[in-house]
Amino acid sequence: MAESRNAALAAWMADAGMSAGELADAVNDAIRDLTGRLGATSERTVFRWLSGENRWPQERQRRALEAISSRTVADLGFVPRGKRTTSPLPPAAPSPSEDIVHRRRFVGAATAAVAIPLLASRPSRVGTSDVVRLHDSVEALVALDAEHGGHAALERAALAGADEALGLQRRSTTQRVRQRLFGLAADFTATAAWSLIDARQLAAAGKHLDRALTLAGMAQDSDMTMQVWNLRAMLARQQKDYGTAVAAAQAAQATLVARRSPLHASLAHARTAVGLANSGDRRGALRSLGRAEDTMGKVDTTQPRSIWIAFYSPAELYSLTATVRDVVGDPAEAEAAAHKALAALPETYRRNRAHTTARLALAQLHQGDVEPACATSADVFTIMSGDPLPGRMRQLLGTFHRDLITLAPPRIAHEWSDRYRTEWSPA
């Protein structure tokens, strides 16, 4: 009877960007950390795990896999066969490498506590397992951003991660690992830039993006390069430099990953649409939006994706559609798109949900539906309850307030301002 492929292990390897040979090397390094002797796991062994031919690795390999991935072997798709035997391997104290992952210090902030890796002692050898651990740290920061929004503590944590990746890069053992560490440094630095864009600390964000683009080039990583151009387009839009926003979005379209991946291409087209809409090019904006929708229809949702672009989905495209439609003067279409976005957004994307809700309130206001718009805008504060509003969201609510003054009776505008000024106005 044919063996069942280990899809869970394959998915984790794809998410970590790890080949069979790299996983074998990482397992051997982890076994050395656990036992003092380098392991003998081969690339062929990993292929047997993936094919399902070997459903239950040796004890040392299981413990190494768990140390590398921070997952149980069951979560990695392994199943014991027959009677389990226990190796005489004694319990091991956490190695320095494990300390990178499991020991954390926390930086307090007004919005959240951000975990930063604490390196108690540096391992003498740097390899793929270090890449995986830093990859997990990026993932944790992205999750915090989705929940709380950008803020100074997130920036500090991301820059600390970039410094750690660059420090390990100087001691890495192979060119492949060095490039991956440069890529992670670019990812951390871009995350720091995004936290400042969301907080509307725009001058420093540009400096981070310049550095991230350099690091992405050194990593020869097209995916990271597109991430930087995507953020550059967002930064330029916040600065009202709409020509640069369009140019950056078009640079994102030209990256190798956007030419190969419909998901990346869709985001690049959507970002172009936003820039063109703000530039006053209605026809061009709607044309780019149509291309974003067409390429989104070609996305294979079963394929793993990079952490930074995990936010982009049909829900996010609906949200960007609401932005474009409202800017070009189609508030009814904007309202419909915002409702679709809110129906599809995961609950964990709290900041995105609040931002789309503010965009919905604007679309309602621009149709003259003043009371529903005010009620919708109040939901923003409910969604973000317990955290200060990121600067980008405060700016959007400021736009809502200005339009409310223009379009609504003075009494309503004053009531809204009196009720919510302390929450939405800058500190």
What's the first-to-final CA gap in the chain, in angstroms? 67
Task: Please give the structure tokens belonging to residue 416.
Answer: 């809204």
Per-residue b/e over 48-59, b at no fewer than 16 CB within 10 Å? bbbebebbebbe
Question: What's the CATH code, domain 318-427?
Answer: 1.25.40
pLDDT at 249: 97
pLDDT at 270: 98
Please state the domain extents for the chain. 7-93, 95-220, 240-312, 318-427
Question: Quick one: average pLDDT of 357-368?
Answer: 97
pLDDT at 211 over 60: yes
State the Cα torsion 393-397-399-404 to the nearest 10°: 170
Residue 127's pLDDT band (cuts 50, 70, 90): confident
Question: Quick one: average pLDDT of 285-289?
Answer: 98
Compute CA distances 359 → 73, 168, 235, 363, 380, whole Å. Answer: 44, 43, 18, 6, 10
Q: If we measure between CA atoms, which residue out of 313, 317, 335, 318 comes closest to residue 326?
A: 335
Which amino acid makes up residue 133?
A: R
pLDDT at 66 over 60: yes
Least confident of 13-27, 118-132, 156-170: 118-132
The three-class DSSP label of residue 116 is strand
Q: CA 259 to CA 224: how far, in whole Å? A: 14
The pTM (predicted TM-score) of the whole model is: 0.76
**How many other C-beta atoms can be found within 10 angstroms of the C-beta atom of residue 305?**
19
Q: CA 410 to CA 406: how far, in whole Å? A: 9
Residue 3's pLDDT band (cuts 50, 70, 90): low
Task: Please give the structure tokens belonging to residue 263.
Answer: 């998901």
